[in-house]
A and B are shown apart, each in its own frame.
Chain A
Amino acid sequence: MILQIPLIEQITPRAGQMFNLAMLILSGVLVYLSYYLAKQGRTWTIRPMEALDAIQEGIGRAAEMGRPVLMFPGIGNLQNVQTIAGLTMLGEIVERGARVNVPVNTIPSATEIVTASEAIVRDAYNRAGKPELYEIGKYVKWFGTDQFVYAVGGAGHILVEKPAMIVFLGYFLADVLVTGEAGSRVGALQIGGTADQSALSLMAMCCDYIVMGEEIYAVTAAITEDKYQIATIASQDWFKSLLIVFLVAGVILTAAGLKSLINFMWW
């Protein structure tokens, strides 16, 4: 039977991973601490980011021009955290667009993201108070699960619909050049964000604003304007500060030949 309660003596910790587990638990504690402080009324501000303002402006521009907005959550699946950040961004953009009657289309690649996007778009229309505008297959376009087919479909879509703004946020690879170039051909404002190194360098070439690496999580938290979500970004900073201390101290110690002092990291 699979659902037996595990016997304690049969559990063996994985060698060399216990320090990692400790760090994972520590980050959980920090996230909870920031949530707790936010509940007590503590607030944080995320440093200004050009891309965030650009997204908000872009929706206004789309409303003026009477053109739609397009959002790409990337080629990842639900296992990819970057895609999850992209889905959060999708919900926010759709909701903001719905308020000012700007249709926001999205082109996902993996089928589970198609499913999640449909749910998120419907929910965003409900929150904007316009549930009647939502229809299945109207805003979520699927062109097949493959790295480039969605990009070719996306390029074709861009050339017909001429969106005023295109947001790329999630996990991308070289496919971003195909859609990015089509977007710049129709004169769209383009905002690109990813944590993948190869796509990041290509985004730097075809987007007006780029969101580099971890900034994608900060941007999505900032756009929700949710105090708890912003608070967890602060906990992320605490964790990174700790890592920086580890890095600096660790490098100095190993360079001085005292690596044995930090052997606990390899437990």
Chain B
Amino acid sequence: MISPDPWVWLSAILTMCSFSLLYGDNKFFRFAEHTFTAVVIGHNVVMGVFTLKDRFYPLYAGQKLLLIIPLVLGIMVIFMIWRKYAWLAAIPMAIMIGVSQGITVRALINTDVMGNVKAVISEGASIFVGNPADGVGTLIRVAFTITAVFYFLFTFTFKSTTSRPLEYFRTFGKYVLLIFIGIYVGNQSMQNSMLATSAINRLVRNWLGFG
């Protein structure tokens, strides 16, 4: 049975408007697009207002006067829009870049760079131990990692006869990356397929009442 709930009807109409993008640029898609934009911006503002209220409450209540500094810095950022006073925004921008990059660089060196290096090295122990299929797998994983990193050497050239084999190594690294992309394209399709199922099922089950 078709749902009597007006919110379900609104959802159904918006879903179909959004799907009309598949047909091409049209008014229904524009309606969905602008609804989406407006709701998200509205939501961002509501969130922002509540967040600011929470964060600056200690200042308002007189518990933490130091918060006056971020308040001033926050207001300074808005001066970005006036060409003449844009330099005022440079200081809060510098804080944002400095703090954010500081947090990032420590996480990158720990997990992405050294964490991975250590994980690869530890795996060396399991190459010749246990199930041969796993051993071969580990060997492939380790070898692929190293050759693919080799591909990312940008300023080294291997033109001379002695260093020529290294160039083949680099080419192999490129194919390793292609294999990885191929595998992930294939596995990810499952997710995209499932997302379509969930959108269509919402229409068919919740709105039209089938199944």
Asked if chains A and B are in direct contact (CB within 8 A), the reply is yes
Q: Mark B160-194, 1 if CB is under 8 A from A, else 0.
A: 00000000000000000100111011001001100
Number of A positions contacting B (CB below 8 A): 74
Task: Contact check, B37 vs A143: say whether CB atoms are below 8 A apart.
Answer: yes
Residues of chain B contacted by A241 (CB below 8 angstroms): 153, 156
Number of B positions contacting A (CB below 8 A): 64
Task: Contact check, A237 vs B156: say whether CB atoms are below 8 A apart.
Answer: yes
Q: Smallest distance from the beta carbon of B121 to chain A beta carbons, Å?
A: 3
Residues of chain A contacted by B43 (CB below 8 angstroms): 144
Among A20, A119, A213, point to the contact of B109 (Cβ < 8 A). A20
Say yes or no for A7: interface residue by CB 8 A criterion. no
Residues of chain A contacted by B113 (CB below 8 angstroms): 23, 243
Among A197, A237, A246, A259, point to the contact of B153 (Cβ < 8 A). A237
Say yes or no for B46: interface residue by CB 8 A criterion. no
Known interface pairs A149-B40, A156-B30, A247-B120. Does A116 touch B108 (Cβ–Cβ under 8 Å)? no
Query: A-B pairs with CB below 8 Å: how many?
Result: 173
> Which of B4-12, B51-59, B79-87, B200-208 is the interface stretch?
B79-87
Q: Which of B68-96 contact A (CB under 8 A)?
A: 77, 80-81, 83, 86, 89, 93, 96
Q: Which residue of B lies closest to A131 (CB)?
A: B83
Residues of chain B contacted by A177 (CB below 8 angstroms): 192
Among B18, B127, B155, point to the contact of A237 (Cβ < 8 A). B155
Q: Smallest distance from the beta carbon of A47 to chain B beta carbons, Å?
A: 6
Residues of chain A contacted by B80 (CB below 8 angstroms): 115, 118-119
Alpha-carbon gap, A174 to B189, bound state (A): 11
- B residues with CB within 8 A of A: 18, 21, 25, 29-30, 32-33, 36-37, 40-41, 43-44, 66, 77, 80-81, 83, 86, 89, 93, 96-97, 100-101, 103-106, 108-110, 113-114, 117-118, 120-125, 127-128, 142, 145-146, 149-150, 152-157, 177, 180-182, 184-185, 188, 191-192
